[in-house]
Structure 1
Amino acid sequence: MAKKDLKYFMRSTEAEVVTAPGPESFKDEDGNVIQFEIKVLSQEEINRINDNYRRHSMATDKKGNPLVNGGEIVWKTERDSAKASRHMIVEALQYPDLKDPELMKYYGCVDVTDMPLKVFPKPDEYQHVSRIVMQTLGLMSKVTDDEEVEAAKNS
């Protein structure tokens, strides 16, 4: 029996960076839409970000007493998925670098998770950036032009 080669599973550990067009409202001097650079985060990085926005605490009744079920304390998990998504956007975007101290100072931000909301304040801009980043990360399927047209017709 031939030994199976594992070299196929020894991939480069360097993160892939892809370019994608930014929102139409961001254009260069020549009127061209600015190209964003997006780092493809690993599943491990995505899990770490999600875990940072998950809180595990004891469930309590209205008086603050712990809830017990079958002799066991009941735990509740709270997630801030919106903040986790914004953190992923910040980590994935290489250009523009939303963690840049000068950019953060310009917008008066101390928390990087506020930056996507400050730099892309219009709903259509934010949705565009969120969509291209999440698609690049493989967390959202790409919508073809035909599907977008049909969705627009039906809305």
Structure 2
Amino acid sequence: MSEKNENVYDLSFFMPGKTIEAEEIKVPISKRFVDKKGNIVPFIFKAITTERIDELEKETTTYKNVKGRGRVKDLDSQRFYARIAVESTVYPDFRSKDLREAYKTADPVEVAKRVLSVGGEYANWLNKAIEINGFEDELEDLEEEVKN
């Protein structure tokens, strides 16, 4: 490869320590959670790593023997996305011992369902966590950002 071409593809942007760390994002999920002054308490989210998402996918995948097709992978997508949401939610921490004991369940996903007991709240929470982890990024939007 000529020296001229090497400069065109600068890999330094992708080296460890050069990427921008995912930031925490505050988002109001429900009007029902207010502080002492009546202000809506926002949830705090932070994207999780690709490696952790891979682990969650493995944990929520089973295999079935299907006649004529052999062993087939079966992802429990609802549980998968709920687990991503739990892990992406910094505050409130649905994994906390206090919340799990208060809601009488060891499962952080069940804690989230009980806290976000109004259907739209739970859906808003899941959607925001999925979006923060880049699953909602439209390639066209990213391409537009690159152009600007």
- How far apart, in 2, do the equivalents of 1:12 and 1:97 lie? 26
- Determine which of 6, 13, 16 is the counterpart of 2:11: 6
How far is the alpha carbon of 1:101 from its aligned partner? 0.3
How far is the alpha carbon of 1:14 from its aligned partner? 4.6
Name the residue aligned to 1:123. Answer: 119
- How far apart, in 2, do the equivalents of 1:113 and 1:35 lie? 19
Name the residue aligned to 2:145. Answer: none
How far is the alpha carbon of 1:108 from its aligned partner? 0.5
- How far apart, in 1, do the equivalents of 2:98 and 2:20 lie? 30
How far is the alpha carbon of 1:46 from its aligned partner? 1.8
- How far apart, in 1, do the equivalents of 2:114 and 2:55 lie? 24
Contact 1:56–1:77 (Cα < 8 Å) also in 2: yes
- Determine which of 27, 48, 72 is the counterpart of 2:34: 27
When the two chains are superposed, the root-mean-square deviation of aligned CA atoms in Å is: 2.2
- Determine which of 18, 23, 27 is the counterpart of 1:16: 23
Name the residue aligned to 1:83. Answer: 79
Report the CA distance shift for 1:122/1:84 in structure 2 as closer, same or farther (over 3 A): same
Structure number with greater Rg is 1
Structure 1 residue runs of 4 or more that deviate by more than 6 Å after TM superposition? none
Offset from partner CA, 1:21-64 (integer Å, 9 cap, x none): 221111111111112110111233222212211112322xxxxx
Q: Normalised by the size of structure 1, how large is the TM-score?
A: 0.74
Number of equivalenced pairs: 131
The unaligned stretches of length 5 or more in structure 1 are 60-66, 143-155
Offset from partner CA, 1:78-133 (integer Å, 9 cap, x none): 22111111111110000001111011100001122212211111102111211221
Q: Normalised by the size of structure 2, how large is the TM-score?
A: 0.77
Q: Which has the higher helix share?
A: 2
- How far apart, in 2, do the equivalents of 1:54 and 1:111 lie? 17
Contact 2:105–2:111 (Cα < 8 Å) also in 1: yes
Name the residue aligned to 2:133. Answer: 137
Name the residue aligned to 2:65. Answer: 58
- How far apart, in 1, do the equivalents of 2:44 and 2:70 lie? 44
Identity of aligned residues (%): 23
